[in-house]
């Protein structure tokens, strides 16, 4: 059994829109922080001759995209034998917490390890991105920029230990969202009159956020992170039919963050394509922010995170993982697993 794990990421400047070329090529650049503790595990083993691929989330989740990705990855990585794949996350899946980013980054790593030949010149960024665009940013740790254009690539702007920011996440809904990011982006690009303005505003936000990260300047970072998220949602709201990812508690948390700021706590929110609110603050403020968010009606629970590392191979499943019964006795190949 081959095991790899990867973390989710929080986009400080959001990817929202694709080019027409396919493979989840982004229409705008984005910059994220990889989130320690929000982790997906991918387990891969070979199937017997004559069997076909099998790829599932455990507990069950949306398998269609997973199956398509595995078929594509096998072709690109030239994996001759059929594979059995299980993906599991230690946080709610499909609800706007970037489970697809961590899952496809982990799966890219695990499948690259399963390749018959060294994946040498295979572009793993493009492969991860084809599963879910934001997964390419989870291939690196720390602060990561996804650059677009002719040379579509990811690069680390700063390592995880460059700035030990805290990210406090208010979970306002555990169930999967109604409209996927994929569908949401297509609808926004094809129907929202604000989409062009969204793309035009991207370079300014990107450069402000990149500079603020490099200088570890939360007062400069926070307002841009907040406005970038709000502009993404405003653009999506302008679609036909409208796209509203928020719950009443989402708005209540946003107001609580503004209230905390009025009281002098430097805390700033971001929201992805879902109802959860991610609050960025200095580590010293995290306890107070978490306590305040826990009290907001409609908040189910509060998760804590900080900048984390890129994916890695594992010898054993992490302690939180519960693989399906038939997997539990599957040995990890000798020498397999880097760390
Ligand atoms: C709002 O990467 O999930 O979280 O490429 O269609 O799989 P697909 O979309 P996905 O979209 C993420 C959108 C976002 C912003 C971001 O992470 O940059």
CB contact at 8 A, 8 and 279:
no
* Sequence-ordered list of residues with C-beta below 8 angstroms from that of 115, at least 6 positions apart, any chain: 77, 78, 79, 122
pLDDT of residue 205: 98
CA distances from 172 to 92, 175, 188, 299 (A): 11, 9, 24, 5
The average confidence (pLDDT) of the chain is: 93
Q: Is it the case that residue 188 has pLDDT exceeding 60?
A: yes
3-state secondary structure of 280: strand
Higher-pLDDT residue of 109 and 92 is 109
Question: CA 95, CA 141: separation in Å to the nearest integer?
Answer: 22
Residue among 4, 3, 14, 1 at smallest CA distance from 205: 14
Question: CA 331, CA 24: separation in Å to the nearest integer?
Answer: 35
Average pLDDT over residues 81-105: 88
Residue of 40, 181, 250 best suited for mutating to test ligand 1, as the one with most atoms within 8 Å of CB: 181
Q: Is it the case that residue 290 has pLDDT exceeding 60?
A: yes
Residue 333 pLDDT grade (very low, low, confident, very high; cuts 50, 70, 90): low
According to DSSP H, which parts of the chain are helical? 64-77, 99-114, 124-131, 181-191, 195-215, 218-237, 248-262, 286-294
Average pLDDT over residues 203-218: 98
Question: What is the number of the ligand 1 atom nearest to the C-alpha of 9?
Answer: 17
CA distances from 278 to 21, 129, 269, 306, 314 (A): 31, 23, 5, 11, 28
pLDDT above 90 covers a percentage of the chain that reads: 82
Question: What is the number of the ligand 1 atom nearest to the C-alpha of 184?
Answer: 6
Q: Phi and psi (nearest 5°) for 40? A: -115, 145
- The string of pLDDT tens digits covering residues 42-87 is 999 999 988 999 999 988 877 778 999 999 999 999 999 999 999 9
Cis peptide before 241 (omega within 30 of 0): yes
pTM of the model: 0.94
A 10 A CB-CB count for 59 gives 10
Q: Is it the case that residue 338 has pLDDT exceeding 50?
A: no
Q: Ligand 1: distance of its center to the CA of 136 in Å?
A: 10
CB contact at 8 A, 144 and 157:
yes
Residue 95 pLDDT grade (very low, low, confident, very high; cuts 50, 70, 90): low
Taking the CA of residue 289 as centre, how many other CA atoms within 13 Å lie in the half-sphere pointing to its CB? 31
Q: At 84, which helix (H) or strand (E)?
A: strand 83-89
Average pLDDT over residues 19-26: 91
DSSP 145: E
Question: What is the number of the ligand 1 atom nearest to the C-alpha of 24?
Answer: 5
Cis peptide before 59 (omega within 30 of 0): yes
Question: CA 174, CA 182: separation in Å to the nearest integer?
Answer: 20
CB contact at 8 A, 44 and 95:
no
Residue 225 pLDDT grade (very low, low, confident, very high; cuts 50, 70, 90): very high
Which CATH entry fits the domain spanning 2-314: 3.60.40.10, 3.30.1120.10, 3.30.230.10, 2.30.30.100?
Answer: 3.30.230.10
List residues near ligand 1 (CB under 6 A): 11, 14-16, 24, 30, 100, 132-134, 181-182, 185, 272-273
Residue 337 pLDDT grade (very low, low, confident, very high; cuts 50, 70, 90): very low
């Amino acid at each position: 059994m081959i095991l790899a794990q990867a973390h989710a990421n929080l986009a400080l400047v959001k990817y929202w829109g694709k080019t027409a070329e396919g493979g989840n090529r982004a229409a705008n650049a984005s910059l994220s922080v990889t989130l320690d503790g929000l982790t997906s595990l991918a387990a891969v083993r070979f199937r017997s001759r004559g069997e076909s691929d099998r790829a599932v989330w455990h507990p069950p989740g949306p398998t269609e995209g997973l199956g398509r990705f595995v078929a594509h990855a096998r072709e690109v990585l030239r994996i001759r034998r059929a594979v059995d794949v299980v993906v599991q996350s230690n946080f709610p899946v499909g609800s706007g917490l970037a489970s697809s980013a961590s899952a496809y980054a982990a799966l890219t790593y695990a499948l690259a390890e399963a390749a018959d030949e060294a994946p040498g010149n295979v572009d793993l960024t493009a492969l991860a991105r084809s599963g879910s665009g934001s997964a390419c940013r989870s291939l690196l740790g720390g602060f990561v920029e996804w650059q677009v254009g002719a040379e579509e690539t990811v690069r680390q702007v700063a390592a995880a230990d460059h700035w030990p920011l805290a990210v406090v996440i208010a979970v306002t809904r555990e169930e999967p969202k109604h409209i996927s990011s994929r569908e949401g982006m297509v609808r926004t690009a094809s129907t929202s009159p604000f989409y062009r303005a969204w793309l035009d505003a991207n370079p300014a936000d990107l450069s402000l956020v990149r500079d603020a990260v490099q200088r570890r300047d939360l007062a400069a970072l926070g307002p841009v992170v907040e406005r970038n998220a709000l502009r993404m949602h405003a653009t999506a709201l302008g679609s036909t039919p409208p796209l509203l990812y928020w719950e009443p508690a989402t708005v209540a948390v946003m107001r609580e963050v503004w209230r905390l700021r009025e009281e002098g706590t430097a805390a700033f929110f971001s929201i992805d394509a879902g109802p959860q609110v991610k609050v960025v603050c200095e580590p010293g403020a995290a306890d107070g922010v978490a306590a305040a968010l826990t009290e907001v009606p409609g908040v189910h629970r509060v998760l804590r995170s900080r900048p984390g590392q890129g994916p890695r191979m594992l010898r054993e499943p992490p302690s939180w993982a519960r693989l399906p019964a038939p997997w539990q006795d599957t040995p990890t190949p000798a020498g397999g697993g880097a760390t």
